Chains A and B, each alone.
Chain A
Amino acid sequence: MGDRSNSIRVKVSRGDDRGRHFDEFDVPALESQTVLDVVTWIQRNADPSLSYRFACRVGMCGSCAMTVNGKPRWTCRTHVSKVLQGDTLTIEPLRNLPVVKDLATDMSEFFDKWTSAESRFVPTKTREDAIEIVQPATKERIEADAAIECINCGVCYASCDAVELNPDYLGPAALNRAWTLQNDVRDGGKNSRLRAVTGEGGCQNCHSQQGCVQHCPNTLNPTRSIAGLKRLATRAVFKREL
């Protein structure tokens, strides 16, 4: 970091889907500085009308993802020195989602698809029952755990070519969650969910380009989860269950 000049040239995408342009700002370079700090500096010191979204500041809420120098990232956990090209940063909203204004996208369709994929637990027990015995070393628990720590930030969705080609495609995050549930021994919704994720916008749309794997800030592997769903679907077709 010692070689950095003392200011950063920042190009920021402004406007919404009716019209967008870039504004440029010079932002002082600091030793401890994330991309979110750069955006915040602009709003506080250069242009108070700049719109963006953030909440937790520590990579837990997934509200602040943007496109930084062409790649989708959590801005709160991206140190400027890791992404700077020369002395320039280009910051745009996430791809594959409508823009509300400037850097904030409308994530409604992302969550609607989460619901369409039936990516929610279907109980087989109630609060009156004891908690199910599930040994952590079992294959199902290990599979369920492998993909469970998704924070629904939308980075995979924005990096997915299949979503770009087919706007009805459910996308990596919703399908990744569906896979964890198909491995959850406590869940009672597996048959219905498998139908939900193998329809028109379902798992077959994935061409394993692995944009999601490359960009997931939590180092999850949705491509692998989707491959698991495809296997389940094939098996179900053979058994005439689907």
Chain B
Amino acid sequence: MSVQTTDTDILILGSGGAGLLAALHAYKSNPELEITIAVKGLMGKCGCTRMVQGGYNVALSSSDSVERHFMDTIAGGKWLPNQKLAWKLCETAVERVRELENEIGCFFDREPDGTLHHKAFAGQTADRTVHKGDLTGIEIINRLMEQVLARPIRKLEEHRALALIPSADGVGISGVLLVDMRSGAMKLVRAKAVLLATGAGPTMYKYYTPSGEKSMDGLSMALRAGLPLRDMEMVQFHPTGLLAGKDTRMTGTVLEEGLRGAGGELHNGAGERFMFKYDDRGERATRDIVSRGIYAEMRAGNTTPNGGVHISMSHLGPDNVREKFKGMVKRCADCGFDLAAGKVEVVPTAHYLMGGVVCNTDTETSLKGLFVAGEDAGGIHGANRLGGNGVANSTVFGGVAGEAMAGYAATAELLEPNSVVLEREIERALMPFNLEGENVNVHALREELMDIMWEHVGVMRDRIGLTRGLERVENLKSRLLAGNIGVENRVFNLTWHDWLNLYNLIEISLVITRAALARENSRGAHFREDFPEPGSLDESYFTQVELQETGLEVEQIPVEFNIIKPGESLIEDYTETAPKVQRRPDTVGA
């Protein structure tokens, strides 16, 4: 198999908030460097930064501070975050929002007096979420995209990354094997520095919110390249994903959290308002508690026709709902649902992966020349991510990575690729054409994976289920490898890419399941019915999974409390477990 080889100084994988900020910062640091962005879809048009509704957490209001933002991040992450990463996130967010507004052109919403508007968000002790209506991500990504398009940055659109290729001598990264999806041709792009910013995305669950093309490509490549992944058991579920049957891509897409904040009610199949059985706050309890409440009703069979529960807003007055949630009501209406006056079926839906590649505060990984940012990076959020910290994370560390890569690439050399790995990875990517056996139905297997992960590795977990899940995913992998896809033409072949997506999702599903088995307590997004207690905070550890010759190895590594220890606080009067802040009930955000 021939591979076309090209060289660049910096190669960025992904064009979400992390990838685009990295390109701009690298270019500003050193315009002499050749910068290339490779992306699975169109520039700035795939990935999840664009889908951010709520907003961007930043300590800019007079009642807030970086210390307070940090405390909320650590408490929200149940003491598992890497504290240096969390501090850098909160500190740098201040500069990054000013950069987005003053240099990139994002036009965030204002107070009547013209200062930035900060909205209240669940789980936070100050109003700190900067936004543009409820379409914050579109504003951020469109403005970033315009800036990137106007600079001499090389674009490889619809180029899917297949593998990280180490150097022949093993000292660092040589480049990335890609496939040009439009032609089907394989390409090796050698680079001095590579950024992994493909945005994870837990789309291996029956219900999921992320952009449909996402499939853990970055983490799967990192795993195969021998990099350690941390916190992989931490999958955040959003309680209200749209439920419209398995044959529509609408299913799983998120209905915003503000609906519950404004007084939306959840009813089970018998029409009972059930959330008060599980928490005194009812529907306004945190995401994880509401997700578990809904899941418990579903497991008990108290379900609506498609197997979920109903969200009902009409008691608030349909016109009022239409006005307050204009975008959400329109989206539902376009798809045939009446959110304002009727009931809409919902279900907990996989939203975000807190876990990712281990890195330091300069986004460096253990493979020299490889950097990581955004949802592919681990350790920033610990066991749970605060709403509004996702886009802060990608844009903060994307920019950090851009500068770090420009510094690194200024003195680094291009390295010769390890040809054994290269050949092996090409062969792997072409398996769906070359495997012997009957045609496999990729979609049927994907649905099976989504059922297994939902059932055994989802909202509530226990040893028996996780063990069963592991066996079933391993069995699924062997069936995927038992035949080819039955389509020869490689040009814009979605079924080939569905196969590659499924392969990556299977690999990372195994990692998630192993990490979930290893954590025998319940923290944040990870809930073990057989170990419902959080365990000692002082002895907090994070899980780390690596692929070794013998298979996946899981370690438990103590959290370093290098800024604060459990029980301590950087600010006065801070109650870590239940932020005691009075706010109007209608301001709990998405």
A binds B: yes
* Chain A interface residues toward B at CB < 8 A: 1, 30-34, 36-37, 40-41, 43-45, 48-63, 76-79, 81, 100-102, 104, 107, 111, 114-115, 119-121, 123, 125-137, 141, 144-145, 148-152, 177, 181, 184, 186-187
Q: Is residue B104 within 8 Å, beta carbon to beta carbon, of the partner chain? A: yes
Query: Are A56 and B334 touching (Cβ within 8 A)?
Result: no
Interface pair A48/B495, CB less than 8 Å apart: yes
Whole-angstrom distance from the CB of A151 to the nearest CB of chain B? 6
Instruction: List the one stretch of B145-153, B389-397, B458-466, B503-511 in contact with chain A.
Output: B145-153
Contact of B248 with A30 in the complex, beta carbons under 8 Å: yes
User: Which residue from chain B places its CB closest to the CB of A36 in the assembled complex?
Assistant: B249
B135 engages A149 (CB within 8 Å): yes
The smallest beta-carbon distance between B390 and chain A, in angstroms, is 15
The answer to whether B211 touches A55, judged by C-beta atoms less than 8 angstroms apart, is yes
Instruction: Given A120-B105, A148-B107, decide whether A55 and B41 contact each other with a Cβ distance below 8 A.
Output: yes
Distance between A175 CB and nearest chain B CB, rounded to angstroms: 14
The residue from B101, B135, B182, B244 contacting A131, defined by CB atoms under 8 A apart: B101
Minimum CB distance partner of A180 in chain B? B107
Query: Residue B276 at the A interface, CB < 8 A?
Result: no
Contact between B102 and A127, CB atoms less than 8 A apart: yes
A60 touches B336 (CB 8 A): no
**How many Å lie between the Cα of A128 and that of B97 in the bound state?**
11
Interface 9-residue window, one of B42-50, B63-71, B288-296, B521-529: B42-50
Q: List 17 A-B contacts (CB under 8 A).
A: A32-B335, A34-B335, A37-B249, A49-B495, A51-B494, A55-B45, A57-B211, A57-B249, A63-B41, A77-B331, A101-B491, A120-B149, A121-B147, A125-B103, A133-B115, A152-B142, A184-B105
- A77: B residues at CB distance < 8 A: 331, 334-335
Q: Is the CB of B142 within 8 A of A58?
A: no
Q: Which residues of B contact A134 (CB under 8 A)?
A: 107, 110, 114
Which of B41, B115, B132 is close to A53, meaning CB atoms less than 8 Å apart? B41
Q: From residue B440, how far is it (CB to closest CB) to chain A in Å?
A: 11
Q: Which of B531-571 contact A (CB under 8 A)?
A: none
- A48-B485, A49-B495 known; A56+B212 contact, CB < 8 A: yes
Within B129-152, which residues are at the interface with A (CB < 8 Å)? 132-133, 135, 137-139, 142-143, 146-147, 149-150
Using A32-B336, A55-B46, A184-B107 as known contacts, say yes or no to A43 and B495 having CB atoms under 8 A apart.
yes
Q: How far is the CB of A103 from chain B (nearest CB, A)?
A: 10
Q: Which of A53, A59, A63 contacts B331 (CB 8 A)?
A: A59
Q: A33-B248, A50-B494, A55-B46 are in contact. Are A79 and B334 (CB under 8 A)?
A: yes
**In the complex, chain A residues whose CB is within 8 Å of the CB of B132:** 148
Report Cα–Cα, A119/B133, bound state, in Å. Answer: 22
- The answer to whether A55 touches B213, judged by C-beta atoms less than 8 angstroms apart, is yes
Please give the residue numbers on chain B whose beta carbons come within 8 Å of chain A beta carbons, in ascending order.
Answer: 41-43, 45-47, 50-51, 60, 95-99, 101-105, 107-116, 132-133, 135, 137-139, 142-143, 146-147, 149-150, 182, 211-213, 244-245, 247-251, 253, 331, 334-336, 443, 485-487, 489, 491-495
Contact B249 A40 (CB under 8 A): yes
Task: Enumerate chain B residues within 8 angstroms of A60, measured Cβ to Cβ.
Answer: 50-51, 135, 137-138
Shortest CB–CB separation between residue A85 and chain B, in angstroms?
18
Complex Cα gap A34–B41 (Å): 21
A120–B41 CB distance below 8 A = no
Shortest Cβ distance from B243 into A: residue: A32
User: Of A34, A119, A127, which is within 8 A of B146 by CB?
Assistant: A119
Contacts of A148 in B (CB 8 A): 107, 132, 139
**Chain B residues positioned under 8 Å from A101 (CB to CB):** 182, 491-492
B489 and A49 contact, CB distance less than 8 A: yes
Q: Are B46 and A31 in contact (CB under 8 A)?
A: no
- Shortest C-beta distance, A189 to chain B (Å), equals 10
Q: Is the Cβ of A132 less than 8 Å from the Cβ of B102?
A: yes
Extra A-B contacts (5), CB below 8 Å, given A34-B335, A37-B247 = A30-B248, A56-B46, A111-B149, A120-B105, A144-B107
B336 touches A114 (CB 8 A): no
How far does the alpha carbon of A51 sit from the alpha carbon of B184 in the complex, in Å? 13
Asked, given contacts A34-B250, A135-B114, whether A51 binds B103 with beta carbons under 8 Å apart, the answer is no
CB-based contact B105/A121 at 8 Å: yes
Residues of A within 8 A of B248 (CB): 30, 32-34, 37
Nearest chain A CB to B310 CB, angstrom units = 15
Answer whether A61 and B50 are a contact pair too, CB < 8 Å, given A149-B138, A186-B102. yes
A41 cross-chain contacts in B, Cβ below 8 A: 247
Q: Could you say which of B96, B114, B116 has the most chain A C-beta atoms within 10 Å of its C-beta? A: B114
Minimal Cβ-Cβ distance residue in A for B43: A111
Contact A32 B495 (CB under 8 A): no
Chain A residues with CB below 8 A from B114, complex form: 133-136
Q: Given A30-B248, A61-B50, A61-B211, do A136 and B41 touch, yes or no (CB 8 Å)?
A: no
Docked complex Cα distance between A187 and B107 (Å) = 11
Nearest Cβ on chain B to A96's Cβ, whole angstroms: 17
Quick one: which of A107, A131, A181 contacts B98, CB cutoff 8 A?
A131
CB distance from A124 to the nearest CB of B (A): 8
8 Å CB contact of B142 from A123, A136, A151: A151
Chain A neighbourhood of B253, CB < 8 A: 57-58
B135 in contact with A120 (CB, 8 Å): no
User: Hey, which chain B residues are within 8 Å of A127, CB to CB?
Assistant: 95-96, 98-99, 102-103
CB contacts (< 8 Å) of A136 on chain B: these are: 109-112, 114
Shortest Cβ-Cβ A-B pairs, 4 listed: A121-B105, A133-B114, A32-B244, A120-B146
Question: Is A107's CB under 8 angstroms from B494's CB?
Answer: no
Look across to chain B and name the residue whose beta carbon is closest to the beta carbon of A41. B247
Are A100 and B142 in touch, CB under 8 angstroms?
Answer: no
The answer for the CA separation of A135 and B113 in the assembled complex, in Å, is 6
Is the pair B150, A120 in contact by a Cβ cutoff of 8 Å?
yes
**Most chain A Cβ neighbours within 10 Å, of B47, B103, B253, B335:** B335
Residue contact B105 to A107, C-beta cutoff 8 Å: no
Which of B51, B110, B139, B245 is within 8 Å of A56, CB to CB?
Answer: B51
Q: Is the CB of A135 within 8 A of B245?
A: no
Determine whether the beta carbon of B50 is less than 8 Å from that of A56: yes
**Cβ–Cβ < 8 Å partners of B443 in chain A:** 44-45
